[in-house]
Amino acid sequence: MTEANVVHQAMTIKPLTAAGTMIGIGMGGFVDGILFHQIFQIHNMLSAKVSTDTLVGAKVNMVWDGLFHTVVWLATAIGIGMLWQAVKRDDVLLSGRAFLGSILLGYGLFNFVEGLIDHHILNLHHVYERLGQSVWDYVFLASGIALIATGWLMIRDVRAVGATAR
C-alpha cells in the first residue's frame, strides 16, 4: 500500500475501543475483587448466601472469589490480545483519549452489570455485606452509570474530531 493510500484510508477507533472496553471490564472486576473482597473484606462473591463467619463458609467464598478473579483475568487477557491486534492495523486511529474512555466505559459496564445481577437480582452479595441491601448497592450502580457516561463522552469526542478531520 502506498503512502498516499494510507493517508486517504478511512481511520477507525472501533478495534481500539473494543479492546479498551474489554480491558476496562477486567480491570473493573480486579478493583472490585481486590479492594472490596480482599483488602477491605466487606463482601465476598457469595457472602449474602454463605456466611464468612465459619472456616467452611470463608473457604467456599474464597473459591468463588478465585473463580471470579479467573473470569476477570480472562477478560483482561482477551482485551490485551484485542489491543495487540488493533495497534498492528494501519486503519486504526490510536487515540489515548478514546482508549482511556473505552476503559472507563468497560469499568462502568462491569459495575453496572455486576451490581444489577449480583447485588439486586441474584442477591449473592452486597457492597457492604453487614448492612445487607443498602444505599451502597445503589451507589455502586450509579458509579457504573457515571463511568459509562464519562467513557462514552470521551469516545464520542474522538469520533467527532476524527469525522471532521477526514
Q: Where are the domains of the chain?
A: 12-165
Please state the φ and ψ torsions of residue 156, each to the nearest 5 degrees: -60, -40
71-121 tens-digit pLDDT: 999 999 999 999 999 999 999 999 999 999 999 999 999 999 999 999 999
Please state the φ and ψ torsions of residue 18, each to the nearest 5 degrees: -65, -45
- Joined together, the cell numbers standing for residue 73 give 483475568
* C-alpha to C-alpha distance for 102 and 86, rounded to whole angstroms: 14
Q: What is the mean pLDDT of residues 3-27?
A: 83
- Is residue 5 scored above 80 in pLDDT? no
At 134 the pLDDT is 87
Q: What is the mean pLDDT of residues 148-166?
A: 82
Contact (Cβ atoms closer than 8 angstroms) between residue 107 and residue 28 = yes
